[in-house]
Structure formats: structure tokens, C-alpha cells
Structure 1
Amino acid sequence: MPGPTISRRQLSGVLRRLRRDGSLTLEEVADRLEWSSAKVSNIETGRTAKPSVTDVSALLRVYEVAEGTAEHDEVLALVRQSRKPGWWHRYGDVLTGAYVSLEAEATRISTYEPIVVPGLLQTENYARLHQRAASAPLAAEEVERAVEARKQRQALLARPDAPRLWAIIDENALRRMESEPEMMQEQLEHLVRVGEDTANGVTLQVLPTTKSFRSGLVGPFVILEYSGPDIAPFVFLETDTDGLYLERPEEIERYRTLLEQAQSIALDPHESVELMRSLMRR
């Protein structure tokens, strides 16, 4: 069973499909249930954070999904799962937005990072320094909470069902650590270990400064993908407060193209490890 956030997204996809299969509009469903069309829409789009079993059961009756059938039971199981808190709720004071919960349930994560080392690959000391340098400085105890949350995020790479991670890091992001040589050494050693491990499901490439991204100036982005036909992929663009979530097919296709371009001009995984070794202290 997927986690709560993906259960909610999957539930949204299933309810939308059932309504369309019945050739019903939001207004028609609302009329039959004596609800507002906004309520139907909020449940269907996931804006209702914790939909009730009672409400979804009512929708299933309208969509003629009979009680006791496998489909009926599976949909209600998604409802119950979507109401459970994930581990990230314990870090609500230092984590904002929905990204972490969506990342935790992805089956494939593809990221391009021109400025910093991707969060899933940061060492503890790098993460601590990164948090201290944030545009909105955190108190010392908040920094440690944020570092602990980062470690919790990274634990997903050790799961038996860990997502595939494809990370492209700009060489400038690595060289930016030169003012902190000990931390740089530790971070590069970690990246080399990750890059050399052929069984960890991680592909690591470095985009060298000798090559340019032909699409012009492109900021960091992440493409998250999921298993199951009712869970659409999306692109995440980070901002200071949380980020932008792009879900339209044309937006997904654009960033897939950007990712493929970056993959084609970046060093291959072996060459990337060699470049990182060359940046380490002798």
C-alpha cells in the first residue's frame, strides 16, 4: 500500500476516472449528492487533505461501484491510508510544503542541480552548513532538526523498494565547497562512494564547466515519477518557501527534454567519479 500522500494522489486519479467513465460532470455529481460542486472538486483534486470514508463511499454509489467488490474495497483502503500521518509530520517545524512527502513515495527521481549537492546526497556536515547559510537563517536547534530531517529523507535510498535516483550535479556546485576544505573532502568522498556503488540504484553524473547547457540558463529541477496509472509524474522547482509543482503533460515533456540534454553532455558515471577524485585533496 502506498504512503499517505501518494494514496491521496492515487485516490484523486481513481475518482476522476470513475466520474469520467460515468460521463458525469462535477455539477451532476454534486446535484445527486446535494453537495456543492466545490466539495466534489476538492475531494477529486486532493485539496481535501483527509477525505472521509463516508464521503468517498457516497461518491462510489453515484459511480455505481458496488459494495463488496474489489474495486470498492481498494478505493476505501486508499482513503484510510491517505489519512495516516507520514514520518515528515514530526518535522513540520523545519519542513514546509508537500515535496518531502511526494519524494518519499516516488519510484524514480531525476534531478539536475547547478548550485548545491542534491539533498539526498548531502553529508551531515554539508547539510548543516547549507542550513546555516539559508536565506532565512534558522536557530541552532532548528538547524539540527533540519539536518535530522534530511537524514530521514535520505533513508529512503536504503529501503528495499528504494526509488531509482539519477542526479546530475554541475561542477560549479562541487567547487563552491572549496572555502570549506574538510567538508568538501568529506562530501566528495561520499559522492565517490555513491557513484562507484553499482548496486545502489543511483546514477551520478557531473556536468563539467568545460561544457555548456545548450538550453541556456536552467535552474535546479526534479522530476518525480510513480508506479500505477492513476499517479501522474510532476516537476518540482524549488523556491525559498517551498516550490512550484508542474503537472501539465507539456511541462513534464519540456523538463524530460532538458534532463536528456543534460544527461547527454554530462560526464558518464565513471568519468564523473574521476573528476570528483581530482577535486579531492591529495
Structure 2
Amino acid sequence: MCHHRPSSAFQKKGAGRRAPDSHRLPPGTGRSSRHVEAYVSLIPVLCHWQPCRWQFANGTVPVVLGCHFRRGWRQVAGTYLTLRQRQLARRLRELRHGSGMTVEQVAEKMLCSPAKISRMETGQRGVSLRDVRELCRIYDIANQNLATQLMNLAKEARQPGFKQEWGELSDALATFVDLESSAVAVSEFQITYVPSLLQTEEYARALIRGMLPRIATDVLEHRVEVRMKRKARLREPDAPRYWALLDEAALLRRVGGAATMRAQMQAVLEAAQLPNVTVQVIPLDVGAYMCADNPFVYFEIGDATMPAVVFIELLGRAEYLEKQEDLAGYREAVDRLRAAALNPQASLDLVAEASERYRF
């Protein structure tokens, strides 16, 4: 939760102190109140936090008060990007870097503004097939397969994503669902509650309500509905491989009462029987272990342009990490967590014991 004082008005020119660089908007975000409003409306994906407010300083320069981000994707409302859009943007950026050209040099050859090139490389602007052909010419791409891949990405990037298919979704949740649906494997680690794709409707409702006590009923019900739709994918023919890792504390934390917890434990046992689902529990007597304070979701995309993405959500911060050094660290974490946890059968025995505990 952001601890800064909210502000509902803009300061007059010259008022207020200059904010540190870490609190300023990213380059190219813009200076209008529309951009500021868009940038701050990140809605929690797993219901951990609420966004902070913004105010204008020095008349025109927007300054953020609050949430810090490490390197990674910064979710911007109104600029929801599908996985294909992110992949195309990343590939175009890599091609330009490989050519040794600057944004200005490419823009000059393409007879457009540098801002257009920059927006295409960040996914903030659509890329037409004509743009792709021109860029292939500028970068002197002789590999026809690569050119075809870029053209296909441009076509697929223009298709509606899950935000359109699933109705009213926050940008953050739409991105999460899009990644989850595109992944060939998902490893989710949770400490204090049952992993999201294993939750029952009653458990999910009680959990979200407990985390966000002021949430509107219609918003709550929509989030529960979306979570149940995500959960249903585990039973589809092309479902991803799902590896749920959870601390034993999640089995002990009573969410929604004994009846809800018993039903939830039974749901975990049933889901674990699916051929693509593995459940492992890290017992309390293990002690300290890697990522014991850092829940995360590791998406394996299985694509050369974006092999994996890590989602992390902490108090006041939500990120999507794709840097190789970050992925390597979380890949190690997944391996170490699996090694620290009980084997799948012993884990289910522990879940069954917890179910019996909630019988009375």
C-alpha cells in the first residue's frame, strides 16, 4: 500500500519539490493528465494492493508518488498488449540494435518521426505489414524465414486478445491471462494461500474479500468468475503443464471457514489427479528456503523471442520479468522449491490430513 499523501488536484507552477528520478514517468509516456491517469491505474492481478495517486509538479511535468518498479514490464492502463504484440516489439528492437542504427536513423530512412519507431518498439503503436516490409529493407534482412515470421507476428498482433474475449478486464489481469493461456507450462509458488488455478469459487471469493475488504460486489464477482474460467483451462486438451508449489502455511490458514477449507482441500486433491497437474507442498519443518518471502508465477512460453516470463506481485509492486538474469534466478528458484518440497504423493497425503482437520 502506498503511504504517500493522496492528491486530487494539480499544483500551481513552481509549487512543490522536484521529485526524484525514480518517481518520474518513463520517457515517452507523455505529459497530459490522460497519460498520468492511464499509468497509475494498474489493478492488482492477485488482489494484493491498491494503486497510489498522482499529482502534477512545476506546472506540466507529471510526478508519481509511491510505487517503485524494478526493471520489467510496467503495466499501463489503456495500453494493454497481447503476447504477440510484445514479441513483435521486442524483435523489432533487437533487429535495430543488431543493425547498429539509432531510432533517429531508422526514422530518417523510413520517412517518419522517431516517436513512431520508438512506439513500435515498445508496443505502444500498431505495426502494419507495410511497416514490417520497410523495416526488413532498412535492416537488410535477407533471411526470408525471418521476414515471414515478422509478417506473421504483425498479423497475429492485430488479433483481439483475451481482454476483448473476456469482457471488462483490467490491463494487468488481461496481460496475466494472455500469458497464462499462451504458456506451455506454468509454475506457481504461493506462501499464504492456495495457488489460484486450484481455488474453489467459495475460497476465491473469501480470499479476495479478505484482501480487499472495500471491493464492490460486482467487481468481486467478476474476478471470481474470471478465476474460475482460468481454472477450467486445466481440463482442456491443449492445457498447459501446471506445477503448483505451496507452503504448508497455506493449508493451515483458514479462509472462509471450515466448510470452505475442507472443500478447498478436496479440490486440490481432485485437480492433482489431472495428468498435466502436479502439486507439491513445502512442509513447515523445512525451515528457511529460497523465495520463502517471494511468491511468483513462472510462465514457460516456448518461443525463441520470449522463452519465459516471470510474474511477481509484492506490496505496492507488480512486474513481468523477462531479462535473462532474472529468468535464470527464478528458474533456479523453481528447481530448489521442487527439491525442498515433499514429493507429489507425500504432498497429497498432507493435503488429505488438512482436509480431515477441517471436518469438525
Which residue of 2 is the match for residue 26 of structure 1? 103
- Cα distance in 2 for partners of 1:214, 1:150 equals 29
Taking only aligned residues, the RMSD between alpha carbons, in angstroms, comes to 2.6
Distance 1:176 1:19 in 2: 51
The 5 A counterparts of 1:125-204 are 125-135=202-212, 137-177=214-254, 180-197=257-274, 199=275, 201-204=276-279
Amino acid at match of 1:144: E
| Offset of residue 156 of structure 1 | 2.7
* Contact 2:302 2:308 (8 Å CA) reproduced: no
Distance 1:152 1:95, change over 3 A: farther
What is the aligned partner in structure 1 of residue 320 from structure 2?
Answer: 245
Report 1:219-234 matches (<5 A). Answer: 219-234=294-309
C-alpha distance after superposition, 1:141-165 (max 9, x if no partner)? 2211111111222233223222111
Aligned-pair distance for 1:270? 0.3
Q: Which of the numbers 122, 129, 132 marks the counterpart of 1:53?
A: 129
Question: What secondary structure, in the 3-state scheme, does the structure 2 residue paired with 1:210 have?
Answer: helix
1:106-141 Cα shifts (integer Å, max 9, x gaps): 112112100111111111111111221233632222
Task: Give unmatched runs, 5+ long, in structure 2.
Answer: 1-80
Q: Which amino acid aligns with 1:223?
A: Y
One-letter code aligned to 1:77: N
Distance 1:210 1:178 in 2: 22
The aligned counterpart of 1:12 is 89
Structure 1 gap segments, 5+ residues each:
none
Identity of aligned residues (%): 34
Between the two proteins, the alignment pairs up a number of residues equal to 275
Match of 2:280 in 1: 205
CA contact 1:115–1:172 (8 Å) conserved in 2: yes
User: Once structures 1 and 2 are overlaid, which stretch shifts more, 138-147 or 54-63?
Assistant: 54-63
Structure 1 residues 45 and 179: alpha-carbon distance in aligned structure 2, compared to 1, 3 A threshold: closer
**One-letter amino acid of the structure 2 residue matched with residue 247 of structure 1:** E
Match of 1:267 among 342, 345, 348: 342
Q: Following TM superposition, by how much is the alpha carbon of 1:19 offset from its aligned partner in structure 2, in angstroms?
A: 3.2
Normalising by structure 1, report the TM-score: 0.86
What pairs up with 1:32-111 in 2 under 5 angstroms? Answer: 32-48=109-125, 50-65=126-141, 71-89=146-164, 93=168, 95-97=170-172, 98-111=175-188
Q: What TM-score does the superposition give when structure 2 sets the normalisation length? A: 0.69
